[in-house]
Protein backbone atom coordinates (compact mmCIF):
# COMPACT_ATOMS: atom_id res chain seq x y z
CA UNK A 1 0.00 0.00 0.00
CA UNK A 2 1.37 3.41 -0.86
CA UNK A 3 0.90 6.84 0.61
CA UNK A 4 -0.07 9.66 -1.75
CA UNK A 5 1.73 12.70 -0.51
CA UNK A 6 -0.51 15.71 -0.92
CA UNK A 7 0.17 18.90 1.01
CA UNK A 8 -2.05 18.04 3.99
CA UNK A 9 -0.86 14.43 4.20
CA UNK A 10 2.78 15.50 4.01
CA UNK A 11 2.25 18.09 6.73
CA UNK A 12 0.44 15.61 8.99
CA UNK A 13 3.14 13.01 8.42
CA UNK A 14 5.87 15.48 9.37
CA UNK A 15 4.01 16.63 12.51
CA UNK A 16 3.65 13.00 13.61
CA UNK A 17 7.33 12.29 12.86
CA UNK A 18 8.37 15.23 15.07
CA UNK A 19 6.14 14.02 17.92
CA UNK A 20 7.51 10.50 17.65
CA UNK A 21 11.11 11.76 17.67
CA UNK A 22 10.26 13.34 21.03
CA UNK A 23 8.63 10.13 22.33
CA UNK A 24 5.23 11.80 22.41
CA UNK A 25 2.03 9.85 21.89
CA UNK A 26 0.16 10.79 18.74
CA UNK A 27 -3.61 11.17 18.43
CA UNK A 28 -4.81 11.16 14.83
CA UNK A 29 -8.26 12.57 14.31
CA UNK A 30 -10.23 13.45 11.24
CA UNK A 31 -13.19 12.50 9.12
CA UNK A 32 -13.88 8.94 8.00
CA UNK A 33 -11.50 7.65 5.30
CA UNK A 34 -9.16 10.65 5.42
CA UNK A 35 -6.03 8.50 5.80
CA UNK A 36 -5.45 8.26 9.55
CA UNK A 37 -4.88 4.50 9.56
CA UNK A 38 -2.64 4.65 6.51
CA UNK A 39 -0.63 7.43 8.15
CA UNK A 40 -0.12 5.23 11.23
CA UNK A 41 0.87 2.29 9.01
CA UNK A 42 3.43 4.43 7.16
CA UNK A 43 4.91 5.76 10.40
CA UNK A 44 5.15 2.28 11.91
CA UNK A 45 6.81 0.92 8.79
CA UNK A 46 9.31 3.81 8.76
CA UNK A 47 10.15 3.13 12.42
CA UNK A 48 10.27 -0.67 11.93
CA UNK A 49 7.58 -1.02 14.59
CA UNK A 50 4.83 -3.61 14.77
CA UNK A 51 1.44 -1.88 14.78
CA UNK A 52 -1.40 -3.60 16.63
CA UNK A 53 -4.84 -2.51 15.40
CA UNK A 54 -7.86 -2.47 17.73
CA UNK A 55 -11.34 -1.47 16.61
CA UNK A 56 -13.10 0.14 19.56
CA UNK A 57 -16.84 0.51 19.98
CA UNK A 58 -19.24 0.78 22.91
CA UNK A 59 -19.07 -2.99 23.53
CA UNK A 60 -15.31 -2.97 24.22
CA UNK A 61 -14.34 -2.94 27.89
CA UNK A 62 -11.12 -3.01 29.88
CA UNK A 63 -10.90 -6.81 29.82
CA UNK A 64 -10.98 -6.78 26.03
CA UNK A 65 -8.05 -4.36 25.99
CA UNK A 66 -5.92 -5.57 28.93
CA UNK A 67 -6.74 -9.28 28.90
CA UNK A 68 -8.77 -11.84 30.78
CA UNK A 69 -8.75 -15.36 32.15
CA UNK A 70 -10.41 -17.88 29.86
CA UNK A 71 -11.41 -21.47 30.53
CA UNK A 72 -8.85 -23.92 29.19
CA UNK A 73 -9.47 -27.30 27.64
CA UNK A 74 -8.88 -28.86 31.07
CA UNK A 75 -11.99 -28.57 33.27
CA UNK A 76 -11.50 -26.24 36.21
CA UNK A 77 -8.37 -24.61 34.77
CA UNK A 78 -8.02 -21.17 33.30
CA UNK A 79 -5.38 -19.45 31.26
CA UNK A 80 -4.51 -15.81 30.77
CA UNK A 81 -5.37 -14.36 27.36
CA UNK A 82 -3.57 -11.03 26.95
CA UNK A 83 -5.41 -8.20 25.26
CA UNK A 84 -3.92 -5.85 22.67
CA UNK A 85 -2.71 -3.29 25.24
CA UNK A 86 -0.83 -5.98 27.16
CA UNK A 87 0.61 -7.43 23.95
CA UNK A 88 1.77 -3.99 22.79
CA UNK A 89 3.50 -3.32 26.12
CA UNK A 90 5.14 -6.76 26.21
CA UNK A 91 6.39 -6.53 22.62
CA UNK A 92 7.19 -2.84 22.53
CA UNK A 93 4.71 -2.52 19.66
CA UNK A 94 2.63 0.48 18.74
CA UNK A 95 -1.08 0.39 19.45
CA UNK A 96 -3.63 1.89 17.07
CA UNK A 97 -7.06 2.20 18.65
CA UNK A 98 -9.55 2.90 15.87
CA UNK A 99 -12.63 4.92 16.84
CA UNK A 100 -11.57 5.31 20.48
CA UNK A 101 -14.15 8.09 20.79
CA UNK A 102 -16.84 5.36 20.63
CA UNK A 103 -15.55 3.66 23.79
CA UNK A 104 -17.90 3.47 26.76
CA UNK A 105 -15.13 3.49 29.38
Interval 3-58: pLDDT, tens:
566 788 889 899 999 999 999 999 998 888 888 999 999 999 999 999 999 999 99
- Taking the CB of residue 41, how many other CB atoms lie within 10 A of it? 16
pTM above 0.85, yes or no: no
In a domain, 1, yes or no: no
Domain count, the chain: 1
In a domain, 87, yes or no: yes
In a domain, 45, yes or no: yes
- Is 40 within 8 Å of 96 (Cβ atoms)? yes
In angstroms, the CA 58 to CA 77 distance is: 30
Residue of 46, 67, 55, 64 whose CA lies nearest to 95: 55
In a domain, 2, yes or no: no
Q: Which domain holds residue 79?
A: 7-102
Amino acid sequence: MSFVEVATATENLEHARVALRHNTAVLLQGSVACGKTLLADVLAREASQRLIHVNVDDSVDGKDLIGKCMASETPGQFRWMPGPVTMAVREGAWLLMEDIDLASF
